[in-house]
Structure formats: C-alpha cells, structure tokens
Chains A and B, each alone.
Chain A
C-alpha cells in the first residue's frame, strides 16, 4: 500500500508503469520545435468534424486509440479512463469516450488535468482496484477561444502576458506491470490564490501554486533540485516561469538548469507569435506523452518531476470581481 510522507506527498508501493503514450496536435503545434515527436498533426482545425468541440473530441479519441495501439492492449483490458479538458461540462472528454465501452471518470483541473489524472490513476492501481488505466487530456485553440475569449474573426490584440491554447491531446496507458518509466511518488497540490485578476496573465496566477507544490514535494521527500534530471512544469509560459524562479529563490531553492516548461518548448516563442507560450490541458499532456516519454526511452532522463499547472478560472467569477485560483500537482516519474 502507498504511504503518506510529510504533509502532502504519497509514496506509491506498486509503482504503476507508463506502458505507452500518444499525442496528436494541430497545425501550429506541428510547425513547432517538437513536431517530429507527435504521432499525428491535424491540419484541418475542424479535424473533419462540423464544430470545434467535436474536433477536440475527435482528436482526443484518436489519441486514445493511438496510445492503446502502441501499448499492445485492447480497450477491454482498460479498467478506467481518466480524462478532462477545459470546456464546460468536460465536453470534449465526455463526447470523445461516449462510444468507448470502458468506465470513465471525468476530471476538471484546468491545465493541471494531466498530472491530476496520472495521480489518481496511480493511486487506483497502487490500491489494487485497477490494473490498466488511460490518462488523457485535451484542448483546442478554437473551442477555448470561443468559450473564454472572443469569436475567432474578431479583430483584437493580445496582451504580452497572454498565452496560446494548444490544439492537441495527449494520452498515456498506465499499467500495474510492464516495460516503461514508473510513477513512484505524487504530491497533490493545494489551491493557491495570490490575488491575480488578469485572465490574460495565467502564468502569474499559476506560478504560486507551482511554487507551493514543488516546495512541498522537496520538503516532504527531503530531496533537492539536484536529485532530478528535469523539473517540468505544465504551462507557466515564459513569464510564469520567471515568477516561479523568483518565488523559489526567495525560499533558497535554485532550479538551476533543471527547469523546463511544456508551454515554452511546444512553440517557438520568438517566431510563432504565441505570447508567453502554449497553454491548455493539451499542452502538458501532449508534451509528456510524446517528447518526454521519448527522452525516457532514449535514457536521456531518469527522474522527472512533472507538475502540470492549472488556472481554475471561472469567467463568471472574474466578471464578478474575483481573483484566479491556481493549482499544481506533482508526479514523480522514474526510469
């Protein structure tokens, strides 16, 4: 059985294995620096469907099927699907998996969904109630824009701190046994709200949560930054990453050259006009499921702390004058 360590951390006993991962993205992501790692690039923003919401579901389902194929498992082997997205009522995930004959738990953790699903699936496997689970998350630039911002054809400028919602989905198959990197430890995060009101500055809203989770993980486990090959945050973007470093420095924690942010590596920030970088549930999901798993396969990294970060933003509450709560969950992945 798993055991609790310190205030927030859980050490897993059975250490679930990441059997495979898949990631499918849109055209802009396909033009980015990680293009060769993706399983497929969908040039059509509708992905052959009639609406953007349907397109997102389609991409998510195709990613799930691809990940299954790569793992050599069939959908009947899977005991549970844990998935979520940014849309109201977890629309993309609910419609993606409605024709899949597998139990499903819908999750909402905003852009932290991927590490939330990995954390829950790991505990389910560790507890012995699940043998194989699918963890997945998706986002779509167009479906997110119409829900959170303006219509696509509305002519407006973005503020410099804004980020670009990634079109894409990532999925990994987690199993009780097999070949692949293992999830050994998780640190579920607390909701941290440092009073940021600007919905165009999600990086600043999320970095205190990332700071808190990283710091708690290090204190609970007694580890230092040097013990990791990489500390990978979800979608803080360039500005959020600056704020994270600043906050950690105040606690005498230096990330050195270990920190990477999925939102900053999925796009070329200079050339692709994405503001401070990528964001959305799909951002960290797709980077983890493709590029990062590839690094593990090559043996380039052996111990990674994955912290997907979410801005638990409600457009209604923001209009009512509220601030943006942030969250970040850490998952330790070891070769």
Chain B
C-alpha cells in the first residue's frame, strides 16, 4: 500500500473506532445468569442437607447434579442461548464447564467416536483441566512444605 497511514497508526485508529462491548448490559446479564445458576445450586444443596446428607456428600451430589443440568441443557440446544445472553455468568459456573465438554462431543460425533468425540471432547476444557490440575499440584506442594516447616 502506498502509505497514507503507518501500520501502527492504522491499528490505533482501529482500536479507537471499533465498536465496544456494552459493559453495563453485559455485566448485568452475567450477574443475573451466574446468580440464577448459583441459586439453583444452592437450592439443590439445601435439599440434600435437609435430607441429612453430610457435608462431603452434599458437595459432591450438588456438583454432579449441576454438571448434569449443564449437559442436559446443552443437549437440547438451550445452553448456547444462555451463554449468548449471560457471557461469563454462564461459562464460569460448573454448568459452563459441562457445556464446554458436551458441545464439542456433540459437534464432532460426525467424525466418529475415536477421532471425533474422543479426540475433540476436551478441545475447550482441555487447557482448563491441564492448568487446573497443575495449579492444584503446586498448591498441594506448597501446603505440604508449609506443614513440614511449621
């Protein structure tokens, strides 16, 4: 391009003129969506508590049920709409994690059960798992050393 404008200047112009996100609207939608999902989780938890389940059982059972809800809503083509509206409010809770595994599994079924579903299932959740597990190992080591020293 016979330059009227430098690369740097063009990028600055693009950043300046690009339409931005509606932060207020998005934050509100994320708050409502994330809040609603967590409220459902809280209700499930209280129900288990009410039936006299101990703390550990209650926590596990609540997670399992929330994961199921996320997977189920993904399967019936609803979770993507929730995600479109709620943004991070829909992707941060455990239902979003479930959605990130079920959606590629559904999408890549056409490529077969091994190279499709098997290989692509953790396409989105993979990095979360890798660094999540890595972080927990680091935290565990720190905790272990701390215990030894103190």
**CB within 8 Å of B: which residues of A?**
50-51, 146, 150-161, 190, 192, 194-196, 201, 204, 208, 211-212, 215, 239, 242-243, 246-247, 250-251, 276
The minimal Cβ–Cβ distance linking A252 to chain B, given in whole angstroms, is: 9
Q: Which of A156, A192, A204, A211 contacts B84 (CB 8 A)?
A: A156
Q: A160-B19, A239-B17, A242-B17 are in contact. Are A153 and B1 (CB under 8 A)?
A: no
**CB within 8 Å of A: which residues of B?**
1-2, 4-5, 7-8, 10-11, 13-14, 17-21, 26, 74, 77, 79-84, 86-87, 90-91, 96, 99-100, 102-104, 106-108, 110, 123-124
| A154 lies within 8 A of B83 (CB) | yes
From B120, which residue of chain A is reached at the shortest CB distance?
A: A151
| B7 lies within 8 A of A146 (CB) | no
From B79, which residue of chain A is reached at the shortest CB distance?
A: A155
Chain A at the B interface: SS class: loop
Docked Cα-Cα span, A51 to B112, in Å, equals 12
| B17 lies within 8 A of A154 (CB) | no
Docked Cα-Cα span, A194 to B14, in Å, equals 11
From A195, which residue of chain B is reached at the shortest CB distance?
A: B7
| 19 sample A-B contacts, Cβ–Cβ < 8 Å, listed by A number | A146-B108, A150-B103, A151-B106, A151-B107, A151-B108, A151-B123, A154-B103, A155-B81, A156-B80, A156-B83, A156-B87, A156-B91, A157-B83, A190-B1, A192-B1, A204-B18, A208-B10, A215-B2, A242-B17
In the complex, the 3 A-B pairs of residues with the closest C-beta atoms, listed nearest first: A155-B83, A151-B107, A153-B103
Q: A146-B107, A155-B90, A239-B19 are in contact. Are A250 and B4 (CB under 8 A)?
A: yes
Given contacts A151-B104, A151-B108, A195-B10, 19 further A-B pairs with CB under 8 A are: A51-B110, A151-B106, A153-B79, A153-B80, A153-B99, A153-B102, A154-B124, A155-B74, A155-B82, A155-B83, A155-B91, A161-B18, A195-B8, A196-B11, A201-B14, A204-B18, A208-B10, A239-B18, A239-B19
The minimal Cβ–Cβ distance linking A230 to chain B, given in whole angstroms, is: 24
| A151 lies within 8 A of B17 (CB) | no
What residues on A are CB-neighbors of B124 within 8 Å?
150-151, 154
Docked Cα-Cα span, A190 to B2, in Å, equals 12
Docked Cα-Cα span, A251 to B3, in Å, equals 9
| A152 lies within 8 A of B103 (CB) | yes
From A248, which residue of chain B is reached at the shortest CB distance?
A: B4
| A194 lies within 8 A of B99 (CB) | no
| A160 lies within 8 A of B17 (CB) | no
What residues on A are CB-neighbors of B103 within 8 Å?
150-155
From A215, which residue of chain B is reached at the shortest CB distance?
A: B2
What residues on B are CB-neighbors of A201 within 8 Å?
14, 18
From B76, which residue of chain A is reached at the shortest CB distance?
A: A153
The minimal Cβ–Cβ distance linking B75 to chain A, given in whole angstroms, is: 8
Q: A146-B107, A239-B19, A246-B17 are in contact. Are A154 and B80 (CB under 8 A)?
A: yes
